[in-house]
Amino acid sequence: MQFHLLIDGRMVDGARRLDIVNPADATLLTDSPCADHAQVDAAVAAARRAFPGWRDLPVDDRSACLHALATAMEQQADAFARLLTREQGKPLAEAHGELEGAIAAIRYYADLRSEPHLFRDSAAEQVIEQRYPLGIVAAIVPWNYPLLLLALKLAPALMAGNCVIAKPAPTTPLTTLMLGALVAPLFPPGVVQTLGDDGTVGSMLTAHPGIAHISFTGSTATGRAVMASAAGTVKRITLELGGNDAALLLDDADIDAIAPDLFAGAMSNAGQICLGIKRIYAPRAKVERLCDALSALAGQLVPGDGLDPATTMGPVQNAAQHARLTALLADSRTRGRIVHGGAPIDRPGYFIAPTIVRDLPDDAPLVTQEQFGPILPILAYDDEEDAVERVNDSIYGLAASVWSADPARGLAMAGRIDSGLVWVNRIFDLPFDVPIGGARQSGIGRHQGLAGLEEYMQVRIVNAALS
């Protein structure tokens, strides 16, 4: 398959091409087009030309375009899923799940409406809150869920009346460019555009004076750079950044009952989930049993190429992340005790053995940093006050979870966790109508729900004397 950029309604070659590697075997998958500064300028200019017509299009007509895109994706479901597995690494069943989530997100937003809010309405005055689109949105997407996270930006931004320029991660551009090919005949030229990137395009977009809003998902370090770059033109920004998400087990937690959920929360997508469990705090008396249960589950995973039906865990996505995780494993072997795994898997590709580590000090990198891979530290505590303090001792605040046999007790504990999202006795429950957003250095703004739609709109208060 040949891949192209989508600029101003036309599929075009990039200024240069970038090799894309299959993470399952570290071999060349294909090459992909990358935009240069002139093509970024052309995309912004096309979006600005398209914006008045898209903004003024009746909202039901915008909705119809999104539903048409969702239908086109459904018709290409197998091709999308296989391509996603080949560029990202996840097992084919998980790739289908991501695609289904992306389609559902597009349809959800296609049916959502933001209505004016009336503050005053009398014979003497009317005060009304209206919302209108910002203009051109740059949607910058990471490599762990390239389709789903793009859909969660693209759909609300378009329904709000904005035009969108989508920029995938340099290592996972292919499904985004495939989406661009579907978009081309369904939307007016310039409304949606897709730009490949070799690592230079993101900063062009964040600093560009023609861009009104940056929606970015990625690391906290890159998020800081996005904020700094956007400051020159005081762009609106939505940031979903890093997390070091803690799971806190209370002393009444049933280890055998919850271990599968904890394991899935840490190891799904080879641990590459922003909201996934990154560290577990357990009562000291339960640590041994917990390590045994998680190690048994780790032993059942089958790492391999995601296109192999036997595979239940794919590789990490890229060489840089593989090297970072390898360094974290080396440090953890010296500072803690490996109870399962503990090394890269000796085979082609970027595979890390699912690893359980215990007895690390609180200042170990695996405890303080976001590992973003299948390596899970288990940390013992002796009293709940100590546990809460250690859970909250982080620059991050994306998500957390509390596990207890008593839901009321779990809810009370959740109210003490400094995080934008806290689950109680569940993980990865993310209904589209419920807004989420990170605390502290885990992000700015809201995603999903009506708040996620209105994130892409400007508030206007109209205050009128009527007599």
- Distance CA(201)–CA(186), nearest Å, equals 25
In whole angstroms, what is the distance from residue 459 CA to residue 208 CA?
Answer: 23
Using the predicted structure, report yes or no on whether residue 401 has a pLDDT greater than 90. yes
pLDDT in tens, 242-274: 999 999 999 999 999 999 999 999 999 999 999
The kind and range of the H/E element at 164 are strand 163-167
Burial class of residue 17, CB neighbours in 10 A (0-12, 13-18, 19+): middle
CB 352 within 8 A of CB 316: yes
Q: What is the pLDDT of residue 386?
A: 96
pLDDT for 233 beyond 90: yes
Q: Span 95-118, mean pLDDT?
A: 98
What is the arithmetic mean of pLDDT over 413-428? 98
Cβ(419)–Cβ(398) below 8 Å = yes
Q: What is the mean pLDDT of residues 398-417?
A: 98
DSSP, res 138: E
| Architecture of domain 246-424 in this structure | 3-Layer(aba) Sandwich (3.40)
Determine the 3-state secondary structure of 338 from DSSP. strand
With cut-offs at 50, 70 and 90, classify the pLDDT of residue 438: very high
- pLDDT value at residue 132: 98
Angle CA(132)–CA(135)–CA(138) in degrees, nearest 5? 125
Give the residue numbers marked as catalytic.
Answer: 240, 274
Residue boundaries of the structural domains of the chain:
5-241+440-465, 246-424
Rounded to whole angstroms, the Cα distance separating 429 from 412 reads: 19
Residue matched to tokens 């002139």: 38
CA distance 259 to 238: 34
Max distance between CA atoms of the chain, in angstroms, equals 80
- With vertex at residue 4, the alpha carbon angle to CA 206 and CA 22, rounded to the nearest 5 degrees, is 90
Beta-ladder partners of 16? 34
pLDDT, position 36:
98
Contact 242, 442 (CB under 8 A): yes
pLDDT of residue 310: 97
Percent of the chain at pLDDT exceeding 90: 99
Once rounded to an integer, what is the mean pLDDT over residues 371-384?
97
CA trace torsion 17, 18, 19, 24 (10° rounding): -140
Task: Give the global pTM.
Answer: 0.96
On whether the CB atoms of residues 349 and 332 are closer than 8 A, the answer is no
CA distance 9 to 43: 10
The confidence score (pLDDT) of residue 1 equals: 75
- On the question of pLDDT at 465 being above 90, the answer is yes
Query: Quick one: which H or E segment has residue 299?
Result: helix 284-300
Whole-number pLDDT of residue 124:
95
Q: Where are the beta strands (DSSP E) in 195-287?
A: 213-217, 236-240, 246-249, 279-283
Domain 5-241+440-465 belongs in CATH node 3.40.605.10 = yes
